[in-house]
Structures are given as C-alpha cells and as structure tokens.
Amino acid sequence: MTANEFRKMALSLPEATEESHMDHPDFRISGKIFATLGYPNKSYGMVKLTPKQQALFVESDPEAFMPVKGAWGRQGGTNVYLRAVKKESLRKALESAWANRASKRITSKIQGQVE
C-alpha cells in the first residue's frame, strides 16, 4: 500500500475531503478528521477507530495496525503501517473510521456498506 493508494481510498468515501492538520494530510467528513497520512512518519497512516474496533484490527493484523502512543491511542487512534496493510483491511478500517465520524444523514446514504 502506498500513501497515494491510502489517499485515494479515503477520498472514495462519500463526502470525504482532504485538508491538512499539523503539517500532515488529513481526511475529513463533515469537518471531522477520520484519517491522516504521515504520522508518525511517511511510512504510516492513522485511522480514528473506537477502542473496541482498534482492538479487533490490532488483533487481526498486528504488523499492520498498532495503537498510536499516548492518550490518542487509548481513545482508538490507530497507526497503519502502509507496507504491511492489505488493501481490504485498510478499506474496512477507513470505512469504520469514516462511519464513526459521519452524521447519520450521510451514513444512511450507504447503509449496509459501512459497519
């Protein structure tokens, strides 16, 4: 997985936009960040999951998913090691992070596609 593939996948979600925060590209829905690129370095992305979702992704693929250090990680912030993550796993993680931040109006548009 490359950074550009991560970007393309994040932006393929309904109403997702790309902006920048703290010198990192981020991906938002309704102004709320659901993913970023380049943190802690260019080899990683980050998805904002719930702690329960994070535990499932980390357990299923600990080489690709790991909690962000500190409080953000305890709240579900999850690093994605781009070289290790499989396309389908990343898609599920991005969709989960997107759904966590999207309004019910937006998620209802694609009900059944994002869990």
pLDDT in tens, 30-65: 999 999 999 899 999 999 999 999 999 999 999 999
Residue 115 pLDDT > 50 = no
CATH number for the domain that contains residue 15: 3.90.1150.30
Average pLDDT over residues 64-78: 96
Task: For residue 20, give every residue at least 6 positions away whose Cβ sits within 8 Å of its Cβ, in sequence order, or none.
Answer: 26
Domain assignment of residue 114, yes or no: no
Q: Look at residue 69 and tell me if it is in a domain.
A: yes
What is the reported pTM?
0.89
Total structural domains within the chain: 1
Cα–Cα separations (whole angstroms), residue 72 to 66, 80, 86? 12, 14, 24
Percent share of the chain, pLDDT over 90: 81
